[in-house]
Structure 1
């Protein structure tokens, strides 16, 4: 299992503070993948540039895809560009992967993060692992979950992480999610203004 899969499972678990948006989760999943690649020494950060190293040894298909998608020529990709590029529809890819592995099932009682079809978490080793990390208040998972609104979490100042690269990624994920929310709000305002033009006498 990976941090991204654990995050997806936690986002699916019942009763978040508010529903998790697909776009927010996709950005956070891309950040989680990058953090796992840093941990596996597949990449390092030079400032906010992603510098690739050796090939990924992970047997996780999606993390392998993330490694294969790295920009391996100068100029290297910035973390925020990676989040937007890799994050496109990434939540849907994780849902499909967990369903294929039998870790998500379709059923009446579940809820879907997106789409009309209901899905629920199967009782699996993956679910138990994710919950164990969650209950242990693992700082990276907690920080990513807080960014997408699963619960309130520690501020950037309160995060006690020794790894500067991981701290950098978490900060940039937070900024990207805030940027996405700003885009949503701007579109909502524009849509409301357009509707008012049609309603005006």
Structure 2
């Protein structure tokens, strides 16, 4: 399993009382991909720009897709730009992958319900691995979870992360999530003002 898959499982297991916004999760999954690619030495960072090296077989189709889609020549993409570009719809892609592997399933809907049941994680080695990583407070997974609000609020202080490149990625995803929230608030204000105009307020 990979960090993005572990994060996807944790987000479904631990955030049931406060579901994670798909857009937020997609950005965090893209960051998790970068971190795993750094760990596999498939990429390096030049400042905050992603510089591909070799393309090893990642044993994961989505990570392979991420690695192969990176620019191989300058100008290289910044981590922040990559998160927005790669993150589009990424949570749905990971959910579909996990569902296809039987790692998640849809709860049966009640007979009187009109909506399909929500997706839940099944008991499996993948779930146990993610749970063990979560229980051990592994720094990268903990930082990504904090960025999503699954744990304590994000602070920008990535305790236990001693790799500068990983810290750069975590800072970038925090910035992206802050930007996304600001955009949501701006749209909410604009929509409220528009509604007031229609109501004559």
Give the TM bin, normalised by the shorter chain. over 0.9
Conservation of the 8 A alpha-carbon contact between 2:27 and 2:176: yes
Change (3 A) 1:80 1:15: closer
Question: When the two structures are superposed, what TM-score results if normalisation uses the length of structure 2?
Answer: 0.93
- Cross-structure match for 1:199: 199
- Cross-structure match for 2:20: 20
Conservation of the 8 A alpha-carbon contact between 1:16 and 1:151: no
- Mapped partners of 2:37, 2:81: distance in 1: 16
- Cross-structure match for 2:135: 135
What count of residue pairs does the alignment treat as equivalent? 196
Change (3 A) 1:185 1:153: closer
**Displacement of 1:21 after TM fit?**
0.3
Please, which runs of 5 or more residues in structure 1 have no aligned partner? 110-114
**Displacement of 1:200 after TM fit?**
1.0
- Mapped partners of 2:9, 2:49: distance in 1: 29
C-alpha RMSD over aligned residues? 1.7
Conservation of the 8 A alpha-carbon contact between 1:16 and 1:150: no
- Mapped partners of 2:105, 2:97: distance in 1: 11
- Mapped partners of 2:120, 2:138: distance in 1: 24
Say which SS state the counterpart of residue 105 (structure 2) adopts.
strand
Question: When the two structures are superposed, what TM-score results if normalisation uses the length of structure 1?
Answer: 0.93
Moved more, 6-15 or 187-196: 6-15
Please, which runs of 5 or more residues in structure 2 have no aligned partner? 110-114
